[in-house]
């Protein structure tokens, strides 16, 4: 059962979806979009040279995004989706009902500004949509 579950996946598409999701984050959290608002709300200085471990955080983030895309690929295959609009719908549903709610649960217990939730939640919603579109079209 387990091998059959993974045997029909397009692993290159999973990797491409993860790279797209990750690169979306580079754009999303850039100064062109939300870096300034996010850093201000979080009380962080983005140009702080003492910030260590960024590479490890980025690698960990990519691995987690890769796992997310693997889960999306399993759903795409199980639902037999082949067109971009189906991927968009699936990404919107999983982004809102899984990613945004998981982020919200963390925010319930943290004393962080709501603006960070909307920036982070919006990123994961957009990431799910982008990944699901790629996975639906590239089977």
Does the residue 3 lie in any domain?
no
Sorting pLDDT into bands at 50, 70 and 90, what band is 50? Answer: low
Mean pLDDT for all residues in the chain: 92
* Residue span of the structural domain in which 34 resides: 11-42+58-137
Residue 13 makes CB contacts below 8 A (sequence gap 6+) with 73, 134, 135, 138, 139
Integer Cα distance of 139 and 135 in angstroms: 6
Q: Number of structural domains, the chain?
A: 1
**Number of Cβ atoms within 10 Å of the Cβ of 96:** 15
Does the residue 93 lie in any domain?
yes
Does the residue 103 lie in any domain?
yes
What's the confidence (pLDDT) of residue 53?
78
Does the residue 79 lie in any domain?
yes
The one-character DSSP state at 30 is S
Does the residue 6 lie in any domain?
no
Report CA-CA distances (Å) from 109 to 83, 105, 106, 112, 118: 39, 7, 6, 9, 16
Does the residue 52 lie in any domain?
no
Report CA-CA distances (Å) from 95 to 21, 50, 109, 111, 122: 12, 33, 21, 23, 9
Express each pLDDT in 54-84 by its tens digit: 789 999 999 999 999 999 999 999 999 999 9
Does the residue 85 lie in any domain?
yes
Does the residue 4 lie in any domain?
no
Integer Cα distance of 139 and 134 in angstroms: 9
Sorting pLDDT into bands at 50, 70 and 90, what band is 2? Answer: low
Express each pLDDT in 10-47 by its tens digit: 999 999 999 999 999 999 999 999 999 998 998 877 67
Integer Cα distance of 57 and 110 in angstroms: 20
């Amino acid at each position: 059962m387990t091998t059959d579950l993974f045997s029909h996946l397009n692993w290159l598409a999973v990797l491409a979806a993860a790279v797209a999701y990750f690169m979306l984050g580079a754009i999303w959290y850039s100064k062109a979009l939300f870096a300034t608002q996010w850093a201000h709300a979080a009380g962080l200085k983005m140009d702080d040279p003492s910030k260590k471990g960024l590479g490890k955080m980025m690698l960990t983030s990519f691995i987690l995004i890769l796992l997310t895309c693997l889960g999306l690929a399993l759903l795409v295959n199980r639902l037999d989706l082949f067109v971009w609009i189906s991927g968009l719908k699936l990404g919107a549903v999983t982004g809102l009902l899984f990613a945004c709610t998981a982020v919200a649960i963390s925010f319930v217990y943290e004393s962080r500004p709501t603006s960070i939730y909307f920036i982070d939640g919006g990123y994961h919603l957009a990431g799910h949509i982008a990944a699901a579109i790629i996975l639906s079209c590239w089977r």
